[in-house]
């Protein structure tokens, strides 16, 4: 069942509400995610743009990190608040943005860009591993 969760950036100028389908997280090891988030990023599928409610949209700077992907971050505090697959306008939201998730119910379901994972970290829990991002 879809649950609505509330999130915010570090400074609080951006707030969002998203209907999260499942508490099964994706984990991305790609260089781009690691640079922008200072580490591998845990994400939840948050659905299409029309279903996400943003407050403080004027504070979001959008950066195209690849042809397929855009990232939105707070112009004040730098928090990455989403990654968006441009086609079909699908949003992935970093788990740590959310303020009211039942954190102990989260599981790692899938891991992306495992070919880019460095050897200096490992997680106890493992998801289904993909070399890149499944098409
Ligand atoms: Zn902020
Ligand atoms: Zn990534």
- How remote is the CA of residue 96 from the centroid of ligand 1, in Å? 13
Query: Which pLDDT tens digit goes with each residue over 34-54?
Result: 999 899 999 999 999 999 999
- How remote is the CA of residue 48 from the centroid of ligand 2, in Å? 19
Total number of residues shown for the chain: 135
* C-beta separation of 87 from 67 below 8 A: no
Query: Which pLDDT tens digit goes with each residue over 77-116?
Result: 999 999 999 999 999 999 999 999 999 999 999 999 999 9
Which ligand gives the minimal distance to the CA of 60?
1
pTM of the full structure: 0.91
Does the pLDDT value for residue 135 go beyond 80? no
Which ligand gives the minimal distance to the CA of 9?
1
**Which of 127, 96, 94, 97 minimizes the C-alpha distance to 113?**
127
What is the pLDDT of the chain when averaged over all its residues? Answer: 94
Most distant pair of Cα atoms in the chain: their distance: 39
Domains of the chain in start order, with CATH, are 3-102 (2.170.150.70)
Question: What single DSSP character describes residue 31?
Answer: H
């Amino acid at each position: 069942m879809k649950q609505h969760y509330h999130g915010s950036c570090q400074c609080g100028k951006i707030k969002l509400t998203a209907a999260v389908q499942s508490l099964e997280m994706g984990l991305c090891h790609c260089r781009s995610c690691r640079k922008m988030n200072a580490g591998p990023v845990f994400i939840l599928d948050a659905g299409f743009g029309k279903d996400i409610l943003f407050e403080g949209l004027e504070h979001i700077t959008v950066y195209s990190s690849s042809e397929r992907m855009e990232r939105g971050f707070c112009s004040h505090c730098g928090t990455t608040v989403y990654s968006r697959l441009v086609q079909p306008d699908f949003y992935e939201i970093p788990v740590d943005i959310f303020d009211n998730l039942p954190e102990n119910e989260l599981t790692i379901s899938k891991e992306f860009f495992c070919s880019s994972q460095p050897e200096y970290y490992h997680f106890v829990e493992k998801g289904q591993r993909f070399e890149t991002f499944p098409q």
